[in-house]
Amino acid sequence: EAGVAQSPRYKIIEKRQSVAFWCNPISGHATLYWYQQILGQGPKLLIQFQNNGVVDDSQLPKDRFSAERLKGVDSTLKIQPAKLEDSAVYLCASSLVGTVWTEAFFGQGTRLTVV
Amino acid sequence: QKEVEQNSGPLSVPEGAIASLNCTYSDRVSQSFFWYRQYSGKSPELIMSIYSNGDKEDGRFTAQLNKASQYVSLLIRDSQPSDSATYLCAGVYSGTYKYIFGTGTRLKVLA
């Protein structure tokens, strides 16, 4: 079974530029999460999708971050414009369904450096 | 109070010893918990899940859940240098079922 796929693996951009990350979840997984992990910290949930609907985006900085999950499969996360403090690893995870018994599996992540 | 809290460590144990990692949680977190291991520069890897009060064992790992005291722990027996990593505790938020992570505890197993 293929895992969660993310691209690109690394990205370096200048502040005020825009960037997009892509995620393909495990086949059949209805729930998709985007996390931001700053060095030395635990992952922080940015947005959670159930199929193509948003379940929680309370910690997504909506003035600069956006995410979509068209057709309930692939998802993209965009930052526009980027700030220095956006430097982090962006992790995508998926789970079969969002319940209290959910086991979530992570992709390799995208390491973003904003200079 | 944070929803899921962990001591950031580092926790240092000698090779062969038992490593004990702890996590506490708030009322807003439902009582399903997951332990992830994260090596430096890698993504989190699920190692244990626990849903019921009590102990759950899997090889060298034992997860313990105490609902009355609102804590969950992970014991690693016969610790090996390869166990050196950050261990993340995650709970599921009641209502939206979002995964909430603690800050992680860095474990160092000394050879």
CA distance B25 to chain A (A): 15
Residue A1 has pLDDT above 70, yes or no: no
A6, A32, A102: best to mutate for the B interface, most B CBs within 10 A = A102
Flag whether pLDDT at A100 surpasses 90.
Answer: no
- For residues A65 and A34, give the distance between their C-alpha atoms in angstroms, rounded to a whole number: 11
Residue B82, pLDDT score = 96
Report DSSP letters for A13-50, one per residue: E-TT--EEEEEE--TT--EEEEEEE-TTS--EEEEEEE
Q: Does B11 contact chain A (CB < 8 Å)? A: no
- The residues in B 20-59 lying below 8 A from A, measured between CB atoms, are 30-32, 34, 42-46, 49, 51
Phi-psi region at A80: left, alpha or beta (left = phi > 0; alpha = psi -120 to 50): beta
Span B36-85, pLDDT tens digits: 999 999 999 999 999 889 999 999 999 999 989 999 999 999 999 999 99
Residue A91, pLDDT > 80, answer: yes
Q: Which of A32, A91, A38 is nearest to B103 (CA)?
A: A38
- Beta-carbon contacts of B7 under 8 Å, excluding residues fewer than 6 positions away, are B22, B105
pLDDT band for position A19 (50/70/90)? very high
Q: Which residues from chain A sit within 8 angstroms of residue B8, using beta carbons?
A: 40
CB contact under 8 A, A42 and B98: no
By residue count, chain B amounts to 111
Give the model's pLDDT for residue B8: 85
Give the closest of A42, A89, A98 to B88, CB-based: A42
**B88 in reach of chain A (CB within 8 A):** yes
Distance of CA A48 to the CA centre of its chain: 9
CB-based contact, A32 to chain B, within 8 Å: no
pLDDT confidence of residue A22: 97
Residues of A in contact with B42 (CB under 8 A): 108
Q: Which two tokens stand for residue B32?
A: 């399903």
Give me chain A's average pLDDT, please: 93
Pick the closest to residue A102 from B85, B88, B15, B94 (CA basis).
B94
Q: pLDDT per residue over A32-44, tens digit each?
A: 999 999 998 999 9
